[in-house]
Amino acid sequence: MYERIIYETETYQWRVTVNVFRDIEYLHIRKYIMDFDETWIPIKEGVSFPIDLDNVRELFVALLEILSLGIKEGVSFPIDLDNVRELFVALLEILSLGESKQAIALHFSELLENIYQPKAGEEHEDA
Which domains does the chain carry?
Answer: 2-114 (2.30.31.10)
- Angstrom distances, CA of residue 95 to CA of 26, 52, 70, 90, 99: 13, 9, 25, 9, 6
Convert 83-92 to b/e letters by CB count within 10 Å (16 or more is b): bbebbeebbe
pLDDT by residue for the chain (127 residues), tens only, comes to: 788 898 888 889 999 898 889 988 888 989 999 999 989 999 999 989 888 777 777 877 777 776 666 555 555 555 565 666 777 777 777 777 765 666 656 655 665 565 555 555 655 555 4
**Burial environment of residue 96 by CB neighbours within 10 A (0 to 12, 13 to 18, 19 or more):** exposed
Contact 30, 45 (CB under 8 A): yes
Q: What is residue 127's predicted lDDT score, i.e. its pLDDT?
A: 46
